[in-house]
Amino acid sequence: MFHPMHLLLFYTLYYLCLKKNMRLLTVGSVAFDAIETPFGKTDKIIGGAGTFIALSSSFFNRDQRIVAVVGDDFPTDMIETLKSKGVDTEGLQIRKGEKTFFWSGRYHNDMNSRETLVTELNVLGDFDPIIPSSYQGTPYLMLGNLSPQVQSTVIERLNVRPKLIAMDTMNFWMDIAMDDLSKTMSMVDLLIINDEEARQLSKEYSLVKAAKAIRAMGPKYLIIKKGEHGALLFHGEKVFFAPALPLEDVFDPTGAGDTFAGGFMGYIAATDDTSFENMKRAIIAGSALASFCVEKFGTERLLEITREDVDARIEQFVALTDFNMGHHSSI
Amino acid sequence: MFHPMHLLLFYTLYYLCLKKNMRLLTVGSVAFDAIETPFGKTDKIIGGAGTFIALSSSFFNRDQRIVAVVGDDFPTDMIETLKSKGVDTEGLQIRKGEKTFFWSGRYHNDMNSRETLVTELNVLGDFDPIIPSSYQGTPYLMLGNLSPQVQSTVIERLNVRPKLIAMDTMNFWMDIAMDDLSKTMSMVDLLIINDEEARQLSKEYSLVKAAKAIRAMGPKYLIIKKGEHGALLFHGEKVFFAPALPLEDVFDPTGAGDTFAGGFMGYIAATDDTSFENMKRAIIAGSALASFCVEKFGTERLLEITREDVDARIEQFVALTDFNMGHHSSI
């Protein structure tokens, strides 16, 4: 006999099965940073694209995996923190007697330009992205900023092509490894870069022209991040413009781009929906997380906030851009 | 006896009376420009803040007035064009034997910086903004970029304070006439300036802090234009972020800010509604018009397009920013 409880049970099981499948694999640096901004200065703190992506995506998707490498100087409590956020760390290689990647940089007054003071590649110098067999079949892949050769190796080592492969990159790789970068770009669905990078990559100043040129290189989807000016999503003939929240102060921009990408991919993985409409929502989610990231040094703010804080900020984004033209054509 | 036709008649009369009252007074330069951009170069063409504002606002409000001054070198056919757009030109002084204001400038590759090559004040040097008595009682006032002393004189000469007074200004007046500017700012409701000007005026880099500081100087409403990055509207605790349409090329930015202001005030005057919600719509309308302005030199594009073109572009703005978070909190 049918009973309403059966329906509830059915949906609960269906939901759990879906959830099981909603996994995100992140490949990216897990590192130390030392940062100087006009507001202050840090000693070595925890950073790295992989760290920011995993922490950020955990607000939507607590079923995720990471492939990265650290030295044995990396604090185990941070690895425990990642685990507590639902990150499977089997793919996090810990190299005995070696040192973790270290970057140090200084931001200038307007926070839009920075100089690198120190880059010590350490374990990242010969990083071999080994994919644990338990990671095979992960439906969503986020390739944080790394050498394009490492990024393409990851894709080649996956038995099943993910539903959506997103990648970040930076000017540095355009300068020294453009052939590798072209190859990797031809293998991914979505490229997430900033406006300066888009201009360098396409040799076009207009972002509309840049977007056309870049999508001709491979990625069907392109997100151009414009920092305090928001982000643009391009796909086919469609464009979506997401605002950035106007902030009193940007305390430390380090990791904001990775936090954006992590929030975006966490949202996509959790909803298991790669439609353009859902990508818009994912961009707002990523923007909300990035707006928290810049409020304190490094990962500090991401480790303090709750999902409720994120939802409240998403509501601020809705209010910020919401308008209704109503019957304007009648005036 | 009551008949449904009475209601229709009542509303028709009511509508006509309202329309009669929906007037905009623009005070601003009517001038000649000569422009160089990476795309080309013009001889003397028609420009001036007052011209762009009047042409732009005419798309929504064909019942407007202008106070300005030209020399007898100014082409009468342009005055006829303004009249054909519903602009009452009684307040346009034509000085015999004198020359019209002339500005010449060159834009650099990124279109975000320009240098002034020539400024000939001519008739603008001793401009006395005489308000024809028929202009008294105009409910909306737009003060284009002019000396703040001229701007405040206009306000002082109006018998009835308009419902909304908006003003533009520029860095030049902050440098040489800050006291006059402070006085004028304390008399207006809405200041419309760009991000660079907002930073100079407030001595704050953060636009959120700048907006607070500037509103403390007088204007309850503030619009900060960010060029290709859109515009922000601040009022009380509320903020609205309007995007700019991503364009393939910005051919000539001259007049885009005035066109934005004209579209905004034309929309406000036509709807006779100064609520925050309606100001959002007015910003989208102004942004749509500005996006046309930059497509050709000077006023050329504004003189070609129709209201249908403007409405279609407004729809593009809606599509550009529209998103629906749906049930995101359930994921």
Residues of chain B contacting residue A246, judged by C-beta atoms under 8 Å apart: 207-208, 211, 232, 239, 241
Q: Is A97 left (phi over 0), alpha (psi -120 to 50) or beta?
A: left
**B280 reaches A (C-beta below 8 A):** yes
Residues in chain A: 331
Domain B21-321 in CATH 3.40.1190.20? The answer is yes
Residues whose CB falls within 8 Å of the CB of residue B16, separated by 6 or more in sequence, listed in order: none
H-helix segments, A115-255? 148-156, 171-176, 178-185, 195-202, 207-215
Residue where the block lists tokens 């407030």: B202
State which residue of chain A sits closest to B60, comparing Cα positions.
Answer: A331
Cα–Cα distance, B204 to B76 (Å, whole number):
45
A219 CA to centre of own chain: 16
- Name the phi and psi angles at A233, rounded to 5: -115, 125
| Angle of helix B49-57 versus helix B76-84 axis, rounded to 10 | 30
Q: Chain B: nearest CA to A241, how far in angstroms?
A: 5
- The pair of structure tokens assigned to A132 is 């644990």
Asked if A23 and A87 touch (Cβ cutoff 8 Å), the reply is no
Check CB contact under 8 Å for A324 and B277: yes
Per-domain residue ranges for chain A? 24-321
Residues of chain A contacting residue B110, judged by C-beta atoms under 8 Å apart: 205
Residues of chain B contacting residue A205, judged by C-beta atoms under 8 Å apart: 109-110
CB pairs under 8 A between A and B: 109
Asked if B19 and B271 touch (Cβ cutoff 8 Å), the reply is no
**A239 reaches B (C-beta below 8 A):** yes
Check CB contact under 8 Å for B284 and A247: no
Cα–Cα distance, A193 to A299 (Å, whole number):
21
Asked if B83 and B145 touch (Cβ cutoff 8 Å), the reply is no
CA B315, B262, B25, B223 torsion: positive or negative? positive
The pLDDT, as a whole number, for residue B233 is 98
**A288 reaches B (C-beta below 8 A):** no
Residue where the block lists tokens 């906030």: A305
Check CB contact under 8 Å for B60 and A331: yes
Instruction: Kindly write down the DSSP assignment for every residue of A148-183, as one continuous string.
Output: HHHHHHHHHT-SS--SEEEEE--HHHHHH-HHHHHH
Instruction: HSE, CB side, 13 Å, CA atoms: give it for residue A315.
Output: 8
Segment holding B265, helix H or strand E: helix B256-271
Which of B24, B315, B325 is the best residue to mutate to test the A interface, defined by the most A CB atoms within 10 Å of its own CB?
B325
This complex has an ipTM of 0.86
Residues whose CB falls within 8 Å of the CB of residue B240, separated by 6 or more in sequence, listed in order: A320, A321, A323, B232, B233, B276, B279, B280, B283
- The pair of structure tokens assigned to B314 is 């407004």
Helix, strand, coil: what percent of chain A each, to 5? 45, 20, 35
Q: Tens place of pLDDT for every residue, chain B, 331 residues?
A: 556 666 666 555 555 544 544 699 999 999 999 999 988 999 999 999 999 999 999 999 999 999 999 999 999 999 999 999 999 999 999 999 999 999 999 998 777 788 999 999 999 999 999 999 999 999 999 999 999 999 999 999 999 999 999 999 999 999 999 999 999 999 999 999 999 999 999 999 999 999 999 999 999 999 999 999 999 999 999 999 999 999 988 899 999 999 999 999 999 999 999 999 999 999 999 999 999 999 999 999 999 999 999 999 999 999 999 999 976 667 7
Cα–Cα distance, B142 to B160 (Å, whole number):
15
Which of A196, A323, A325, A327 is the best residue to mutate to test the B interface, defined by the most B CB atoms within 10 Å of its own CB?
A323
How many CB atoms are located within 10 Å of the residue B246 CB?
19
Residues whose CB falls within 8 Å of the CB of residue A194, separated by 6 or more in sequence, listed in order: A224, A225, A226, A227, A257
B233 CA to centre of own chain: 14
**A270 reaches B (C-beta below 8 A):** yes
Q: Chain A: nearest CA to B73, how far in angstroms?
A: 36
Residues of chain B contacting residue A208, judged by C-beta atoms under 8 Å apart: 246-248
Residues whose CB falls within 8 Å of the CB of residue B287, separated by 6 or more in sequence, listed in order: B230, B231, B242, B243, B244, B245, B260, B263, B317
Residues whose CB falls within 8 Å of the CB of residue B298, separated by 6 or more in sequence, listed in order: B33, B35, B42, B45, B46, B47, B252, B254, B255
> Which one, of A21, A83, A69, A25, lies nearest residue A262 by Cα?
A25
Cα–Cα distance, B270 to B60 (Å, whole number):
6
Check CB contact under 8 Å for B318 and A328: no
State which residue of chain A sits closest to B227, comparing Cα positions.
Answer: A229
State which residue of chain A sits closest to B209, comparing Cα positions.
Answer: A248
> Which one, of A131, A123, A120, A171, lies nearest residue A148 by Cα?
A171
The pLDDT, as a whole number, for residue B249 is 85
Cα–Cα distance, A224 to A34 (Å, whole number):
26
Superfamily of domain A24-321: Ribokinase (3.40.1190.20)
Check CB contact under 8 Å for A206 and B248: yes
Instruction: HSE, CB side, 13 Å, CA atoms: give it for residue B331.
Output: 28
The pLDDT, as a whole number, for residue A267 is 97
Q: Which residues of chain A have pLDDT under 70?
A: 1-22, 327-329
In chain A, the largest separation of any two C-alpha atoms, in whole Å, equals 73
Residue where the block lists tokens 């930059």: B294
Check CB contact under 8 Å for B323 and A240: yes
The pLDDT, as a whole number, for residue A2 is 57
Residues of chain B contacting residue A229, judged by C-beta atoms under 8 Å apart: 226, 229-230
Segment holding A115, helix H or strand E: strand A114-120
**B267 reaches A (C-beta below 8 A):** yes
**B281 reaches A (C-beta below 8 A):** yes
Residues of chain B contacting residue A326, judged by C-beta atoms under 8 Å apart: 281
> Which one, of A149, A118, A115, lies nearest residue A27 by Cα?
A149
- The pair of structure tokens assigned to A69 is 């490498």
Instruction: HSE, CB side, 13 Å, CA atoms: give it for residue A208.
Output: 13
**B60 reaches A (C-beta below 8 A):** yes
Q: Chain A: nearest CA to B99, how far in angstroms?
A: 38
Cα separation of the two ends of chain A: 61
In the three-class reduction of DSSP (H, G, I as helix; E, B as strand; rest coil), residue B129 is classed as coil
The pLDDT, as a whole number, for residue A17 is 47
Residue where the block lists tokens 């001038």: B31
State which residue of chain A sits closest to B210, comparing Cα positions.
Answer: A248
Q: Measured between CB atoms, which of A229, A243, A314 is closest to B328?
A: A314
Q: Measured between CB atoms, which of B248, B267, B324 is closest to A208?
A: B248
